[in-house]
Amino acid sequence: MVPDEDYELVCLSQKGDLHAFGDLVEKHQKNMVNIAYRMLGDYEGACDVVQDAFLSAYKAIGKFRGDAMFSTWLYRIVVNVSKNHMKQIRVRLRREGPSIDVPRETEEGELMNDPPDPAPSVAEQFEKKEVQAKVQSCISSLDNEYREVLVLRDIQGFSYGEISYILKIPDGTVKSRLFRARDVLKDRLKNVVGDL
Amino acid sequence: MECKVIQGKLSPFLEGAVSLEEKRTIEEHLSGCQDCSIVLEDLKKAEVLVKGLEKVDPPAWLKQKVVARIRAEEERRKSLIQRLFYPLRVKVPIEAFATVLVALAAVYVFKAVEPETKRIPFPSSGSVASAPAEKVVSKREVSSSDKDDLKSTPSSSLPGQTKDVARKQASGVLPAPPATAKEEVSEKVLSEEDEGSLTQFKGEKERRVTRGRRMLAGETRGDAAKAETSKPIQTAPPPEPTLEKKAVPVEGRHKEATEAEEFSKPKAFSQKLPIEGQTAKEEVMAPKSPGAEKRLERRDKGVSAGATLSAIAEKRAKTVRFTVQVVDTNMAREEVEKVLGQLGGQRIETESSEDIEVISADLRSEKIKDFHDRLASVGEVKEKELPSDIPRGDIPIRIEIIRHH
């Protein structure tokens, strides 16, 4: 087993060292946000989910026994929190109907609906953004079980073993779901984007 | 292989997750099938698009906010613990005090409810046991003529009340109190009179006590067996020639007192008693029930039983009382006795004084209403309505006929 580079920080965090846990947050927050964002399709929601996931991780860090890499354990938490969040949204939408998406400002004055985009050219930025939005919408339209394997494998690049641990499903199931997810996504992308 | 099957295998084919044989088959098919080749290309492009999705950056404030939220959670948890358990030097005494208060309140509530729980319906055997409960009257109710009468008795060195009670008891008019009531009465009497002078009446009183106990069928704890074989009070011959058979002055308390005192000292039984007394002596000397033995012991020690008090209170509570104001108490008494007789009243007893006649009897519950109605023709009845909770069976009733001036 590959030694966990987070081992020391994890030990300190388990003893209540909040500073050490802060370091862990800083190290893994990007992956966490990206997983949550691709699962939810909503950046603002993803930031909330990641905060909750880190809070849950801190509360449960005493139970972490090192049966997997700390990061993998962390991603499992964020996937579960994301699923719960999506369930709540579905329930709320069923009750209230779709709500108008109003852009919200962060503490630093950034609009939270869309993630910050580093691309320089406005036109390219726009086109790229548009394509990516369409891709994201197709990913969001997939069934949960297809979406999560696709995000973890094709976007995050996790191994089948890691995905198996995160989703608590066998390797074979991960693969079969992934192949099926890619077939479905291909068809939907063709419908939305046009010629690929 | 069909195109549909091939197309279904293209994703694993791209992943390298097919067997060598399958891979050869697919490659052969693809070389000859344009549709499947297009599908394969689409799959590849889709994969490029997905993998080309840019990774987003987390907001700059995310780490700070996470740490702040964790700190807030920790503080909330700590303050809760502190509020509950800290500081110990303050919390522990306060909690100990609160525990003591709760325990005291529980004891108080239990004691307050205890008399109520003991109030169980006793069998309506038509005994005259209710009378003794009613006869625990204050000294003020004794008429002056009674006092004089008592004082004139040469053999008595007691204050008049005791002798009067003894006389009444001997005459059979006043039934003896239940054994359980005696301790309370003895305590009351002994606190008021010279204990030494009581001993002179031991013989007579003991016999009367025994007779009274006989009359209390099923109501005294130790005397149930005796009560079944007891003679009716009206038929008992008076032990003293000076005593009247009925209409003697009332002094319930002292009668009970003497009975209690005698009951507590069975060895002091006098030789002067007639044959009936001798029979009673055996009964007194050899109590047949554990309850009676216990009562003897307690009276020897001069301790009153809480059960006696509660029994008296219980009987008093169950007696239906009527107060009638009349001009002529004697005539009214005769009228009431007649009505009681007509309605099937049992154990009719009368106690007379100058301005008041007290009649006690047992009457069937269904006759009480009728009796109440007919009582109105005798005089002015104070109780306009009957109690609502009259149990079924023989009910002890008490009618006080007061002379209206």
Structure confidence by residue, pLDDT tens digits, B143-184: 444 444 444 444 444 444 455 555 554 555 555 444 444 444
What number of other Cβ atoms are within 10 A of residue B149's Cβ?
17
B366: CB partners within 8 A, 6+ apart: none
Q: Does A133 touch chain B (CB under 8 A)?
A: no
Whether A41 and chain B come into contact, CB under 8 Å, resolves to no
Nearest CA in chain B to A151: B50
Whether residue B73 and residue A55 make contact (CB cut-off 8 A), yes or no, is yes
For the entire predicted model, the pTM comes to: 0.47
pLDDT for res A36:
96
Chain B residue with Cα closest to A52: B66
Which of the residues A32, A146, A183 would you substitute to probe the B interface, choosing the one with the greatest number of B C-beta atoms within 10 Å?
A: A183
Q: Do A108 and B61 touch (CB under 8 A)?
A: yes
CB contact under 8 A, B43 and A183: yes
pLDDT in the model for residue B36: 93
- Say whether the ipTM exceeds 0.85: no
Among the partner residues B59, B67, B69, nearest to A106 by beta-carbon distance:
B59
Say yes or no for a CB contact (<8 Å) between A50 and B58: yes
Nearest by CB: B70 against A55, A182, A185: A55
Contact B303, B377 (CB under 8 A): no
Residues of A in contact with B68 (CB under 8 A): none
CB distance A196–B17 less than 8 Å? no
Nearest residue of B to residue A185, measured between CA atoms: B46
CA distance A28 to chain B (A): 10
Q: Indicate the residue type of A20.
A: A
Rounded CA separation B101/B103 (Å)? 5
For B274-293, letters b (16+ CB in 10 Å) and e give: eebbeebbebbeebebebbe
Which chain A residues contact residue B66 at CB under 8 A?
22, 25, 29, 50-51, 54-55
Q: How far apart are CA B265 and CA B176, in angstroms?
A: 16
Minimum-distance CB partner of B46 among A47, A58, A182: A182
Nearest to A154 among B50, B66, B74 (CB): B50
Looking at the complex, report in whole angstroms how far the Cα of residue B34 sits from the nearest Cα belonging to chain A: 16
Q: What percent of chain A has pLDDT over 70?
A: 86
Among the residue ranges A139-143, B167-171, B198-202, B266-270, the one predicted with the least confidence is B266-270
CB-nearest to B43 from A47, A175, A186 is A186
Residues in chain B: 405
What is the band of A88 on the pLDDT scale with cuts at 50, 70, 90? confident
CA torsion B198-B200-B202-B204 (nearest 10°) is: -120
Arithmetic mean of pLDDT, B19-31: 93
CB contact under 8 A, B17 and A175: yes
Name the residue in chain B with its Cα closest to that of A115.
Answer: B56
CA dihedral B247, B249, B254, B257 (to 10 degrees): -10
Q: Is A38 on the interface with B (CB under 8 A)?
A: yes
Q: H/E/C letters for each residue in chain B?
A: CCHHHHHHHHHHHHHCCCCHHHHHHHHHHHHHCHHHHHHHHHHHHHHHHHHCCCCCCCCCCHHHHHHHHHHHHHHHHHHHHHHHHCCHHHHHHHHHHHHHHHHHHHHHHHHHHHHHHHCCCCCCCCCCCHHHHHCCCCHHHCCHHHHHHHHHCCCCCCCHHHHHHHHHHHHCCCCCCCHHHHHHHHHHHHHHCCCHHHHHHHHHHHHHHHHHHHHCCCCCCCCHHHHHCCCCHHHCCCCCCCCCCCCCCCCHHHHHHHHHHHHHCHHHCCCCCCHHHHHHHHHHHCCCCHHHHHHHHHHHHCCCCHHHHHHHHHHHHHCEEEEEEECCHHHHHHHHHHHHHHCCCEEEEEEECCCEEEEEEEEEHHHHHHHHHHHCCCCEECCCCCCCCCCCCEEEEEEEEEECC
| B66 to A22: CB separation less than 8 angstroms, yes or no | yes
Interface contact B20, partner A, CB < 8 A: no
Instruction: Measure the CA–CA gap between B176 and B139, rounded to whole angstroms.
Output: 18
pLDDT exceeds 90 at position B70: yes
What number of C-beta contacts closer than 8 Å exist between A and B? 115
Residue-wise pLDDT tens digits, B350-384: 988 878 899 999 999 999 999 999 999 999 998 88
> Sheet containing B356-364: which strands, arranged edge to edge?
B346-352, B356-364, B394-403, B320-326, B380-381
Q: Which among A25, A34, A155 has the least Cβ separation from residue B50?
A: A155
Question: Looking at A35-44, A74-83, B300-309, which range is the least confident one?
Answer: B300-309
Distance of alpha carbon A69 from alpha carbon A73, whole angstroms:
6
- Lowest-confidence region among A9-23, A146-160, B155-169, B305-319: B155-169
Does A178 contact B49 at a Cβ distance shorter than 8 Å?
no
Helix (H, G, I), strand (E, B) or coil at A124: helix
> Would you call B51 and A178 a contact, using CB atoms and an 8 Å cutoff?
no
* Residues in chain A, total: 196
- Contact at CB, A34 and B56, closer than 8 angstroms: yes
CA distance B138 to B132: 13
Terminal-residue alpha carbon distance, chain B: 129
More confident residue, A131 or A25: A25
Kindly state the tokens that stand for B208.
């009367």
d(Cα B399, Cα B140) in Å, to the nearest integer?
19
Interchain CB distance below 8 Å, B59 and A182? no
